[in-house]
Amino acid sequence: MIVLKSSWELARMREAGRIVAQALAYLVERIRPGMATRELDLLTEAFINRKGGVPSFKGYRGFPASLCVSVNEEVVHGIPGPRILKEGDIVSLDIGVIYKGYQGDAALTVGVGEISEEAKDLIATARGALLAGMAQARDGLHVGDISWAIQQYAESRGYSVVREYTGHGIGRQMHEDPQVPNFGQPGRGPALKAGMTLALEPMVNVGGYLTRIRDDNWTVVTDNGKLSAHFEHTIAIRQGEPEILTVL
Ligand code: MG
């Protein structure tokens, strides 16, 4: 069932989304070579707590951390730990926050120090794919219009979009209906209506779209071992351009 949000619910989601955006900006300022990924998790949890929020990933189906941190060929759901970040790595940071009962969810990929031209182009493409999807996220269009725009954007630049993981509705729950795949056909899928709140999250790979899950049962990696990037915003559908809820 797709739940349309009232204006007071959107106000709550704006607050949750702002904490997510602030936490991501806080990490981007601090990430550097030599840092362990668990340090980023500790920073995230402390930041969210200071803001009065709750990290929504921690304990979700047993996930042990407040941050998903996915390095290089890791796509999503990487577990923070002792791994030391190196100059040239690319790191996807994904954060969810619950605030006054409502959720915000966003992600971005950032380079550690100087990164390759290939990595920069991949990151720019994943960010562009999210923007292309958001441009189709408006009352009167369909979920498939978002999916198609994301897929076209990434594939026209020679990349692939991950298929096993999708964007999603979001509100009181982190995952609500509808699913928002990163591939599809225009005009298909559920109709978009003002008041729907969605997390759009393209995951873009170098080479093929296939993924597998590591033995830790969480970390999703590219099957070909090549780089992957991930960008996500929580948005609200309205007439015209969507409102981005995960902004500073
Ligand atoms: Mg999400």
What are the pLDDT digits (tens) for 157-206?
A: 999 999 999 999 999 999 999 999 999 999 999 999 999 999 999 999 99
pLDDT tens track for 18-41: 999 999 999 999 999 999 999 999
204 CA from centroid of ligand 1 (Å)? 15
Distance CA(98)–CA(7), nearest Å, equals 18
Tell me the pTM.
0.98
Q: Which of 183, 198, 202, 44 is nearest to 123 (CA)?
A: 202
Per-residue confidence (pLDDT) for residue 98, from 0 to 100 = 98
198 CA to middle of ligand 1, Å?
Answer: 9
Distance in Å, CA 246 to ligand 1 centroid: 12
3-state secondary structure (DSSP) of residue 79: coil
Amino acid in position 181: P
CA–centroid distance, 234 to ligand 1, in Å, is 8
Compute the distance from residue 166 Cα to the ligand 1 centre, in Å: 8
- CA dist 66 and 54 (Å) reads 9
Measure 233 CA to ligand 1 centroid, in angstroms. 8
Residue that is written with structure tokens 């998903």 in the block: 68
Q: pLDDT value at position 67?
A: 98
Low-confidence ranges of the chain (pLDDT < 70): none
pLDDT at 1: 87
Whether the bond between 181 and the residue before it is cis, its omega within 30 degrees of 0, is: no
Distance 106 CA to ligand 1 centre (A): 7
- Three-class DSSP category at 16: helix
What 3-state class would DSSP assign to 12? helix
Domains of the chain by start residue, with CATH:
7-244 (3.90.230.10)
Ligand 1 centroid from CA 96, angstroms: 8
CA of 202 to the centre of ligand 1 (A): 10
Distance CA(64)–CA(57), nearest Å, equals 8
Q: How far is the CA of 199 from the centre of ligand 1 (A)?
A: 6
CB 237 within 8 A of CB 196: yes
Query: Rg for the chain (alpha carbons), in Å?
Result: 17
* Distance (Å) from CA 84 to ligand 1 centroid: 25
pLDDT recorded at residue 223: 98
